[in-house]
Amino acid sequence: MSSVDRSRVRELMGEVMTAQGRALPADDTADLREIGFRSLDFSELALRVEDELGDELNFDAPGLRRIATVGDVLDFIEHLQSA
């Protein structure tokens, strides 16, 4: 499977937030709840990554529950692509 690099995933995450009228902070330790990045936003991001990959990402709900920061989102999607 091809991959979408971390910086591109971050860019896509920023696009999702911009579409909601919010900005993605530069700090990867930013708390998702504080910046207003919701589970629906994660779904939108996953769809955008899948579009670029031309393949589906397979993830489970327990994995999503551990995501708390911007960096966690980037790590999680990076991990999914290498699995």
1 — pLDDT class (breaks 50, 70, 90): low
The 10s digit of each residue's pLDDT in 25-60 is: 999 999 999 999 999 999 999 999 999 999 998 888
Question: CA-based angle 15:62:57, to the nearest 5?
Answer: 50
By three-state DSSP, how is residue 2 classified? coil
Residues 21, 68: Cα–Cα separation, whole Å: 21
| Residue in 38, 40, 39, 13 with CA at minimum distance from that of residue 24 | 13
Q: How far from each other are the two terminal CA atoms of the chain, in whole angstroms? A: 10
Taking the C-alpha atoms of residue 64 and residue 73, their distance in angstroms, rounded to an integer, is 9
